[in-house]
Structure 1
């Protein structure tokens, strides 16, 4: 497995995760178009990856099915790696995910990432509607092994799925007497806990740490991942990514307003009022209690917000502290226009290359 890094002055690989897309006052179609435009901008400004997360029952999210959106974005981008950050595997049958990402890999060889998470990506009632049982998380390691078995068609003799094959995949190529693909979906383990870190290390897979969720202990997770890492046929040494919430503008006050919209969405989620991205003016006018104000201020300050230079300083401090290989900017405030401006400003700051747009997006 090869991990590239765009040229430029950044000491780490830069990528983007779209976390929202549909703010209050926008239609679902407008939210999806915003995500498409963001991916185009990331592709044309030399970012390495563009990921989307699987969420359900949230008014602010535009993407509930990353595989469907990846299929669209393949035609809208040229060199950007496209992926799920991630697929919540306990919500799905591993065979189905192997088939979906096998198809995506066949459409865009060498450009597909598959990040795996174990959270439901929603509330308890919606998780139940997804037919997710209360013990779903307990089976996550076995589900990951099944998925890897289907992707590589490598179940040992005697395994109950030895003669079950994901199509497209290596088995189909053999049956049709053609060479097997030289590439495969790049499988990542996602998380924000020691559990996920150790699993990624034991499987010899790259590890993506989500720093946008609460007071996650990144130091312990990175140490455990590196200590438990076992080289695999896909990865010879540890490879790490950290995702951080970001809001960037030439106007620091406007960047903070954008960050506050995401903070308000988190507060609403804690209050079981639904994850919505309210307009900044409405967020500022909200009569928060003392406890609510503390939550809003905490999540706003956790966001890497400000000018490109200010945000870059925080990113570099994080990189120096953790030694991660990649940094992923998680954008998803009320304004998709500001999200796109933000990743452009960071690209300019680090002199990332300007790339030609694909014909379909011209």
Structure 2
């Protein structure tokens, strides 16, 4: 493993639209790239900028059903809206638009390429911001996700005889990835997310631990609404880091959704960019070859700041707290306000924190009593 880093990107990431009223805005990719560039985080001989390729259609069949892919491909060729509710295509959540299939293949191809850069070319870290579509199932779109890029890339690595750990810090449970690896011990999946009791996708409870050979290799840490950075840090240090150390994977894949930030419009967690940086520093500190992918985030300002900070940590760069002046002008012209790259520290209200900590305590005790003995902890 060398000291080189791969940034997988394509200007085509922002070529499409889910619709003006849809919360998922693809412009976040271009905005993130611009912030990273202006911060000087791509100007290094150790950084390779890789054009994201379209994933091979054959690779998609390692997880997705052929009839689902055929329908997705056909619908994305049509200018007239189409729907297939068996595959969950064409509704408000998962709209179908011209070019969708190839756009989804592009994001998926970026993650597969990031994995190649780490496994084949020995990069220390590779980052594909246009990945992290963790809700896509084998034959069903879900949660703005059509192709599950993480599963496709991990399947390729497992096929090469590698053991993989997948850690997901998105506010939503990584249900599609868990589904794919629920019966195997070749992949350890860990998801930290807002509780599914009354929150999409209504899964990801502590007792979902895997089945058969996979028992103990699916790990879920649900947070109560209003959990803040202190809650996140407790969970991360007590569960994630010990399990990664014991499992000792060949490759680490992380989904870096930033919808856990307190100003995200779709979630109820109260974390800040401090949690993103904590996670990124911890992942780098494991020394495990690292494939990083994007994920959720429905405030474009949060997305670009969170991923820029993560990329700075991945590449060992130091950045200040202030946004570049040129970038501040760009976001003002887009109707957004902000001067700082990092969030100010924030704590949940005492009553909210107390309830969140009590809930977390129960989750941690369950995982430590049932899972830790399986790993010799």
> Per the shorter chain, which TM-score range?
0.3 to 0.5
Q: TM-score, normalised by structure 2?
A: 0.32
Q: Which has the higher contact order (CA 8 A, sep 6+)?
A: 1
Q: Provide the TM-score with structure 1 as the length reference.
A: 0.33
Structure in which a larger fraction of residues adopt helix: 1
